Every structure is written in C-alpha cells, then in structure tokens.
C-alpha cells in the first residue's frame, strides 16, 4: 500500500556574480541589480499555486526540510530570506526540528550575513569552497580566494548555525594527488560537520565543454578518491552517500529525503519537484527556467505522472546512492508496488554480488558500488 513519504521544499534563486566554466546549473550571471523583492513575490505566488494545484497531496503535511539553492542565494539579504521563510510558514506548517539550508558564496560580503540568516531561520549553510588552492580557484572561475574561504568558515562557526557544509571538488585541471589531498587536509582542519567531495566532470553546454581543460587520468582519479576517502574516514567523517561525508548526526536531511525517494515541493526558476498522492499517483513537475518568463508569472513548465513501470528504477536510482540499507517496506510504501515486482532483478543482482539481502532490507555491496550503473540498469522499464 502506497504511503506518503516526508515532504521537503526546494527554492531556486538563479542569480550569481559570474558563471563558473564547469557549471551546468540553471544560473545567470548578474548584469545589474537583482529584482530581489519582485522575485520573492513570485516565489510566494508560485508556492500558493502549487498548494492549490496539489492540495490532495499536501494537505495536513508538514515540511521536513527546506533547501535554498542556486545560483548564489546568499546574494539575497538576510531580511529578504527572513520575509520569504516567514511567509511560507503562513501557508504550510514546519516540523519543530526543520532543517533549513542556504547555499552561500564564501566571498566576504555574503559571509558577513551569516548571523542574519540564522536570525531569519536558516539552520545550515552550504559553502561552495571547491578548493583551498588560489590557482585552482582562479582556473575554476571562483570569485573568492583561500583567505576569504577560511574567514567564511570562521564566521559560520560563531554564527549560531546548527550545521554547515563545505563543498570541495577533486579531479581539477592539472591537479596532482598531493594537491587534492592537501585540499582535504585543509578542510578537515577547519572541522566542518559536513563535507561534500565531488569529482569535477565536464558537462555539456559549459565553458569547459567548449574548451576542455586537462584533467587527471582515470588511474590518478581512483588514487585520489581512495586516499581521500581514507583521510576523511580517519578524521571521523562517515561516508553516507557517493560524495557526502558527515560527522555522526550531521547528514543533510534534505538530501537524504531526495535519495530516500521522498516528496518535495519546488519553487523558483527551473526547480524540479515530486509529490505522492493518496490515490496511488506519483507526479513530477518542473518550473520555467528563465527568470524573464518566471517573473511574468509563468511558473509551471512541465507536469507528468510517474507510471508504475518506471517506479522501481526511480526508487533504486536514488536509494542505491546511499550506503545505508534499503528497507523493503519502504519500497512498497513509496512506490505502491509489491516486492514481487522486482523479484527477477533482485535475484540477478544477488547472483552478481551487487547487493546483499536480509528479511528486512537490501544493501549495495562494495562490488556493487563499482558497478552501480549496471545494477540500476536492471530496473529500467523495457521498451
């Protein structure tokens, strides 16, 4: 029987100071003053429209987490974020222990606002550090330097935040093993509760795609990951997702809800959402990408149902990114399907040692992590 999972809210703020050459997110370099108040007005109108459209799914549910991403949301003032959150709370209830994350640029101006964001209700900041090497930061098109990054971390520590995250990248242009590990060591010395450690990939329609930099080869990338993972583990960080490490109790609740096939409302340019309905339906939707259209009140871009045949792949695509066991009952609850719907695929995955199985759960193996794409392909619907 299908049950409603936890409900989150994603808010997208699309502006940034300048577009990084590796970035394929829906972000737009600021060319003039940002229409901050106007955009917040439209975010709230967008939310109200969704609450009316999806009332059957949302009524009587509380928000488990909010994530304000971008772009660079910290370009918005603390007063604007406070107003936005206070207005949202008028329309939908917050859980008492709600996690509210805001992505921030570690540049000096934004970092000074951290205490204001805490007063506004933000509980967690995610800072895009990317590297502690000034040459690498310049090559990545970042607007901050190492000194500003470390100062921002210091401000985060005394701001009253419950948690904060540092985003780091590895496999950077011409990066050596020593440079990659030095980035991690400097991050660990700053003792953030959470570190997201991503490998740089070249995405289509980015500057790096048009002018590809020289990246480390596959062998070097694997060595960087192995030794970096050992460093993080030895420092007390637990890997709980492919690129996410946290001290115990500091996992990102919002991202966990994504990966556990939870529900999430989505407002703002290009935001994507997913909602479950008590009648057995699951719906995905997305919003207009460009600010021009969005600011005209053209919010909803696309809406589609998730057919039952696609639900196993969507469920496991998210769940097998996590290193935790996958409760079998959650597969039934959140997809509305019986376990027998995936019996053949599970049996094959067990034979290949991609997963292990107990009476209560499935869990990906170390071998399975190396063949994650092959494992997930098992659950793709046949044409």
Instruction: Check whether 228 has a pLDDT greater than 60.
Output: yes
State pLDDT tens for residues 340-364. 999 999 999 999 999 999 999 999 9
> Per CATH, the architecture of 7-257 is what?
Alpha-Beta Barrel (3.20)
Question: Between residues 212 and 307, which one has the greater pLDDT?
Answer: 307
Specify whether the CB–CB gap between 8 and 262 falls below 8 A: yes
State pLDDT tens for residues 8-22. 999 999 998 888 888
Rounded-to-integer distance, Cα 166 and Cα 172, Å:
17
State pLDDT tens for residues 124-176. 999 999 999 999 999 999 989 999 999 999 999 999 999 999 999 999 999 99
What was the pLDDT predicted at 108?
Answer: 56
**Nearest by Cα to 95 from 249, 254, 228:** 254
Q: Which residues contact 373 (CB under 8 A, 6 or more apart)?
A: none
State pLDDT tens for residues 284-305. 999 999 999 999 999 999 999 9
State pLDDT tens for residues 320-332. 989 899 999 999 9
Q: Where are the domains of the chain?
A: 7-257, 325-383
What was the pLDDT predicted at 110?
Answer: 67
What was the pLDDT predicted at 109?
Answer: 60
Share the mean pLDDT of the chain.
Answer: 94
Instruction: Check whether 237 has a pLDDT greater than 60.
Output: yes
How many C-beta atoms surround the C-beta of residue 223 within 10 A? 14
Distance of alpha carbon 173 from its chain centroid, rounded?
24
Question: Between residues 141 and 89, which one has the greater pLDDT?
Answer: 89
What was the pLDDT predicted at 28?
Answer: 79
State pLDDT tens for residues 17-48. 888 888 878 887 876 789 999 999 999 999 99
Q: Give 183-204 as a DSSP string.
A: HHHHHHHT--SEEEEEE----T
Helix or strand or coil: residue 104?
Answer: strand
Question: Between residues 203 and 349, which one has the greater pLDDT?
Answer: 349
Rounded-to-integer distance, Cα 291 and Cα 139, Å:
28
What was the pLDDT predicted at 183?
Answer: 98
What average pLDDT does the segment 83-106 reach?
A: 96
Instruction: Check whether 383 has a pLDDT greater than 80.
Output: no
Rounded-to-integer distance, Cα 248 and Cα 313, Å:
29
Rounded-to-integer distance, Cα 341 and Cα 338, Å:
6
Q: Alpha carbon of 367 to those of 75, 205, 336, 355, 372: distances in Å?
A: 43, 33, 29, 8, 9
Whole-number percent of the chain with pLDDT over 90 = 85
């Amino acid at each position: 029987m299908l049950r409603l999972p936890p409900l989150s809210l994603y808010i997208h703020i699309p502006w940034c100071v300048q577009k990084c050459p590796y970035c394929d997110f829906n972000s737009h370099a600021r060319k003039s003053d940002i229409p901050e108040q106007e955009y917040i007005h439209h975010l709230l109108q967008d939310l109200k429209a969704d609450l009316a459209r999806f009332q059957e799914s949302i009524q009587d549910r509380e928000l488990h987490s909010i994530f304000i991403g971008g772009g660079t949301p910290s370009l918005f003032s603390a007063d604007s974020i406070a107003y936005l959150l206070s207005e949202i709370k008028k329309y939908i209830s917050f859980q008492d222990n709600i996690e509210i994350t805001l992505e921030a640029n570690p540049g000096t101006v934004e970092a000074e606002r951290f205490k204001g964001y805490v007063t506004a209700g933000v509980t967690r900041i995610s800072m895009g550090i990317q590297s502690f090497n000034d040459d690498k930061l310049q090559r990545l098109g970042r607007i901050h330097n190492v000194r500003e990054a470390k100062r921002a971390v210091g401000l985060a520590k005394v701001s009253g935040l419950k948690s904060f995250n540092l985003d780091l990248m590895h496999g950077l242009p011409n990066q050596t093993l020593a440079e990659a590990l030095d980035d991690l060591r400097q991050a660990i010395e700053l003792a953030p509760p959470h570190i997201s450690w991503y490998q740089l990939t070249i995405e289509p329609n980015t500057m790096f795609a048009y002018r590809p930099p020289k990246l480390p080869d596959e062998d070097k990338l694997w060595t960087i990951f192995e030794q970096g993972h050992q460093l993080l583990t030895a420092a007390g960080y637990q890997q709980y997702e492919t690129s996410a490490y946290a001290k115990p109790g500091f996992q990102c609740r919002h991202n966990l809800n994504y990966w556990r096939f939870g529900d999430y409302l989505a407002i703002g340019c290009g935001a994507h959402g997913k909602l479950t309905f008590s009648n057995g339906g699951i719906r995905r939707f997305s919003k207009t990408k460009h600010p021009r259209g969005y600011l005209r009140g053209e919010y909803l871009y696309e809406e589609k149902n998730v057919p039952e045949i696609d639900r196993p792949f969507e469920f496991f695509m998210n769940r097998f990114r996590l290193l935790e066991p996958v409760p079998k009952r959650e597969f039934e609850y959140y997809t509305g399907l019986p376990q027998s719907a995936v019996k053949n695929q599970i049996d094959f995955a067990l034979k290949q040692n991609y997963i292990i199985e107990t009476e209560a759960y499935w869990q990906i193996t170390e071998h399975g992590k190396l063949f994650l794409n092959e494992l997930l392909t098992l659950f793709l619907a046949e044409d």
